[in-house]
Structure 1
Amino acid sequence: MPLNATAKSWRVGDLPFFYRCQPQPSNAAYGLPDRLSFELEFDAALGLVRQRPNADVDRALEICYRQGSEISGMMDDRGIGQQYAQDFLAYITRHEWDLAGKRVLEIGCGTGYLLSLLKARGADVLGIEPGAQGRDGSNRHGVQIINGFFPHPAVAGKFDLVIAYGVLEHIVDPVGFMRTIADSLSEGGAAYIAVPDCAPYLRTGDISCLLHEHWSYFNIGSLQRIVAAADLNGEVEASGFGGSLYCRVTSAQGRAAAATAEIAQAAAEFDRFRSMAQAAVGKMEQFLQGPGVAGIYVPGRMINLLATLASETQERMRFFDDNPAMTGLYFPGFPVNIENFEALKNSPPARLFIATKSFHSQVVLRIEQAAIDIPVVAWSEFFVQEATT
């Protein structure tokens, strides 16, 4: 994983093109590759970590979006999707307490569930979504959803609110996209943006945040700089649920230039991210080379890192996850099916890496209660945040 110091770019490797967990260890049934090259670059004008444009990735994403991406986090009326929706709704209504008669557009609206909640509060809503979930959700939630990409000729006029939840990171030119959103706002209107908060990953060298679907990797500073570069005002805050950043965007008078020191700090953080990620690769190699077969709990957090290792190491590992919908399925390019806790209990691996910081203690407690005698390695042993000066 070499770094070109002059251009501030880093070819991470051929990473899994993660579309969904599936009943076979390949994306071929969906007309998609199992792995594609992934290269990061540092945009010195914006202080932004981003994926370098790649025509092969563009072609794969066109297929993926038309079929409907199913990566966790989509808002809906069930499960964790409902929690995402309720948290973002609370953020919007904190600023927009009276939605009666407001014209609302949601870009990348998924099933349209959030729009249905806004409609129930009196808003006049419209969604646009390229995936099949939009067609299904339109009937289920009783909202109008245009099948396509924004901007779209069927999306006309001005809107009091424009919403883009989990969209901006998918856009190659986020500054241009923000300007297009601003052109769709009525006078005094506001846009509500949500993106994944990548700061915890960038600080620790955890490359699990890298997805071919995501072109930009935001923290608070880079999101604020993107908004300012589009000649807009943005107020950024952390979400109450789900590890996102929320931003309310309004019109501005003139553009505020990013401070040189701020950009220099972001560049140093990019270098540290690369260095710590390479150290984590070495630790994983050592973990898998031990005696017997190693287990990885919550493997979705580790597939990027594992993809950078030699292929023969894949014969020395098993995957485990608590999500019953994943049992028996595969990640693209890995001939290792996902097992549940009962399989771990009945046939423990030689050692176990728990690839989650948030739920480590709960997993350890379950192992102890099941009287499973197995050495456990924690996420924090692989990803330790370096002190900064």
Structure 2
Amino acid sequence: MTSGTQSQQIILNLENFPFFVGVVDPNTATELPSKLPFALLIDPKLAVPRLNLTPQIMDALDKAYGASSMLSTPLGESDLANYRMIEMLEKLKSIYGDDFKAKSFLEIGCGNGLLLNAVKQLGALVSGCEVGPQGKTASEKYDFQVVEPPLKASQFDAKFDCIFSYGCLEHVVDLEELFKSCRDILNEGGLFFHCVPNMDSSYTSKRLDELCHEHINYFTPRNSTRLLSCQGFSSVDSHLTTAGNEFFFWGYRDASKPLSWPGETETVLETETRKLTEFSYAIKSEVNHLSSSLERIYQRDESIGFYGGGVSLALLMPSIENVRFYDGDTSKHGKCWLNTLPPIQSPRDLKSDPVDNLIICPEHHYSKIINYLTNDIDIPESIKIIKLSEI
């Protein structure tokens, strides 16, 4: 863990926040808590918003990772996840170049191995790093090396030309050690390339969606590239994904650059603190607004469906008796967001058993979802479709 983090002042504090770790089987997730305290502060070295990790949270995360929890559908395993994988791969190719043949690539957090195998198919020599049983499964399925974290030079025979990740760095507890390890195993001039959730999106929307206990670090294009520049990488840059809720950032290993920390500059810490403080005030106001709006729907005795999420919103309801959850990803059907919530249903169930109100949670994919619901499924016109931001 980055030194000094836990002693810093907590800025955003949410009691009894959902312990959301992706879909769970209600029959096997009984050991996971439904709610835990959630608090963010500014790390004094990284100058990045970070979760205030308590022993209780660490214990719950260990259990979740041991069960191979995944917050989102693994890349390539649904239409939307396949789109995300293609965008990630195309951006990696545009930055690295088209010649992957015989070049060595390491993916941190390789998950099910689909993205890493796609890189292998381009001719690269690949290795992965993954915690939990899914790493072993990926290794056996695609025939490449997958090591358990923490990364060490002794785990590999040679250095890499590129180290990359998708949706991983936000989960890393000890970023300081990860950067050191990656510098040790990345060739001089090698590419360090990552895709992470965009905290600027949350700052703008004033929403809770991207906040969860599995996300330790909350990056923006500015604080991430600043961090890379301080940690031995040159020509750093970033680019938003098409949806804008995530972004790519990258740099090249440069041993000539002196190492430092962004937090050593007081004005940097002041700026990050101000942004998180403003967000904290806005979130409290938004929670009050959402609670009132959902209370009015409840008082009208109308049913509510949440599409693609809605965990934190459902827990603001006086009762979940008339609450349902839907998702277009078939792998989630029959499972639940929390073991205390109803199972996730197919949106096709809306044709025969509609709800009064359907709230679309992932607004960055709103157009695709509406097209799917109205054209592919043809849900009843009686259903009132509501953007999350318009509740």
> Are 1:174 and 2:175 an aligned pair?
yes
C-alpha deviations, 1:173-197, integer Å up to 9, x for none? 3243222211111222222222122
Aligned-residue offset at 1:283: 2.5
CA spacing shift, 1:343–1:97, aligned 2, 3 Å: closer
Q: In the alignment, what sits opposite 1:318? A: 324
Aligned-residue offset at 1:219: 0.8
TM-score, normalised on structure 1? 0.83
Aligned-residue offset at 1:214: 1.0
CA RMSD across the alignment: 3.0
> Are 1:108 and 2:109 an aligned pair?
yes
Q: After TM superposition, list the pairs within 5 Å mapping 1:227-266 onto structure 2.
A: 227-233=228-234, 234-240=236-242, 243-252=245-254, 253-255=257-259, 258=262, 263-266=269-272
Residue aligned with 2:312, SS: helix
Structure 2's unaligned 5+ residue stretches are 1-7
**Are the aligned partners of 2:163 and 2:182 in contact in 1 as well (CA < 8 Å)?**
yes
> Are 1:303 and 2:311 an aligned pair?
yes
Match of 1:17 among 19, 30, 36: 19
2-side partners of 1:102 and 1:340: how far apart?
A: 42
C-alpha deviations, 1:256-277, integer Å up to 9, x for none? 7756555444333212222222
Q: In the alignment, what sits opposite 1:292? A: 301
Q: In the alignment, what sits opposite 1:72? A: 72
1-side partners of 2:77 and 2:367: how far apart?
A: 29
Aligned-residue offset at 1:77: 6.7
Aligned-residue offset at 1:360: 4.4
**Are the aligned partners of 2:18 and 2:36 in contact in 1 as well (CA < 8 Å)?**
yes
2-side partners of 1:339 and 1:106: how far apart?
A: 33
Residue aligned with 2:180, SS: helix
Structure 1's unaligned 5+ residue stretches are 1-5, 383-389
Aligned-residue offset at 1:375: 4.5
Aligned-residue offset at 1:215: 0.3
Residue aligned with 2:61, SS: helix
CA spacing shift, 1:182–1:73, aligned 2, 3 Å: farther
**Are the aligned partners of 2:305 and 2:358 in contact in 1 as well (CA < 8 Å)?**
yes
CA spacing shift, 1:272–1:24, aligned 2, 3 Å: same
Counting matched residue pairs gives: 371
**Are the aligned partners of 2:12 and 2:276 in contact in 1 as well (CA < 8 Å)?**
no
TM-score, normalised on structure 2? 0.82
2-side partners of 1:96 and 1:175: how far apart?
A: 29
> Are 1:121 and 2:122 an aligned pair?
yes
2-side partners of 1:177 and 1:170: how far apart?
A: 12
**Are the aligned partners of 1:73 and 1:81 in contact in 2 as well (CA < 8 Å)?**
yes
**Are the aligned partners of 2:75 and 2:115 in contact in 1 as well (CA < 8 Å)?**
yes
Aligned-residue offset at 1:207: 0.9
Query: What percent of counterpart residues are identical?
Result: 23
C-alpha deviations, 1:55-75, integer Å up to 9, x for none? 222222223223322322533
CA spacing shift, 1:342–1:122, aligned 2, 3 Å: closer
